[in-house]
């Protein structure tokens, strides 16, 4: 199917998303899946999807490195996967503290779901529910329990050791870097890249952060833990003037 429909793009053979957790990445993925009438509920955890003229791969190192796809995405770190040549690569960044709050609220939401109907609301429920153990009894417990790869996910996506210089160097090899604060602009730009209209379909809605009741002391503690990631984020933001 891939060879039959190639080339999908004028300048590239495929498009790949380095998916950073809680940065609107699932909504971006869904916009691409929607070209074939698919969404998160239909896709679930499937690694390879073929519908219409489009081939999608996700979260599978072998399939991604083989390169026989129109659109691919995964949480696999930059340093642990080899993306084929002539691939348009991109990622979506987010203010580190806001991303952390989003993860906290998301896990609280997952923990609150009725197990009998949870899979209808969150296809990844069984896997993610295990992570709700990180919540503890409050935000401080969450900060203490959260593994570093999830705490500093953006930085560690682009550097195995959390080295800011290395992460900046690696992210600079991508074709595009977007900011979650201007999600619609990213969708418009990606639509131009592929020459097709991408429609926004927000797959998960679980509220804002106003009712989380995070003290100023806990906010400062979280930002201190994220200091290296903030340095990375700010350096990238300054260079690309991310909106």
Cα dihedral 19/25/17/60 (nearest 10): 60
User: pTM score, two decimals?
Assistant: 0.93
Q: Which whole-number Å values give the CA distances from 228 to 44, 163, 198, in the listed order?
A: 33, 8, 34
Kindly report, residue by residue over 11-48, the tens digit of the pLDDT.
999 999 999 999 999 999 999 999 999 988 888 889 99
Q: Name the average pLDDT for the chain.
A: 92
Task: Region of 241 please: left (phi>0), alpha (psi -120 to 50) or beta.
Answer: left
Q: How confident is the model at residue 200 (pLDDT cuts 50, 70, 90)?
A: confident
DSSP secondary structure letter of residue 57: E
Distance of alpha carbon 162 from alpha carbon 159, whole angstroms? 5
Quick one: average pLDDT of 190-197? 94
The helix (H) or strand (E) run that includes residue 229 is helix 227-240
Domain range list for the chain: 2-94+174-194, 96-155+206-240
């Amino acid at each position: 199917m891939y060879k039959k429909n190639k080339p999908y793009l004028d300048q590239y053979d495929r498009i790949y998303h380095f998916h950073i957790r809680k940065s609107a990445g699932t909504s971006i993925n869904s916009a691409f899946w929607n070209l074939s009438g698919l969404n998160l509920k239909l896709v679930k955890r499937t690694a390879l999807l073929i519908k219409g003229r489009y081939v999608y791969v996700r979260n599978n190192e072998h399939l991604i490195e083989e390169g026989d796809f129109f659109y691919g995405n995964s949480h696999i770190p930059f340093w642990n996967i080899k993306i084929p040549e002539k691939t348009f690569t991109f990622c979506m960044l987010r203010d580190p503290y806001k991303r952390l709050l989003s993860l906290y609220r998301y896990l609280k939401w997952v923990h609150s779901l009725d197990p009998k109907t949870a899979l209808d609301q969150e296809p990844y429920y069984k896997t993610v529910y295990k992570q709700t153990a990180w919540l503890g009894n409050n935000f401080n417990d969450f900060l203490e329990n959260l593994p570093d790869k999830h705490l500093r996910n953006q930085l560690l996506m682009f550097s195995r050791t959390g080295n800011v210089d290395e992460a900046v160097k690696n992210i600079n090899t991508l074709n595009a870097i977007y900011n979650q604060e201007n999600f619609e602009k990213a969708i418009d730009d990606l639509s131009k890249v592929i020459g097709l209209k991408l429609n926004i379909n927000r797959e998960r809605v679980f509220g804002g952060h106003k009712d989380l009741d995070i003290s100023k002391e806990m906010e400062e503690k979280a930002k201190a833990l994220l200091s290296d990631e903030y340095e990375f984020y700010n350096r990238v933001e300054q260079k690309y003037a991310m909106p």
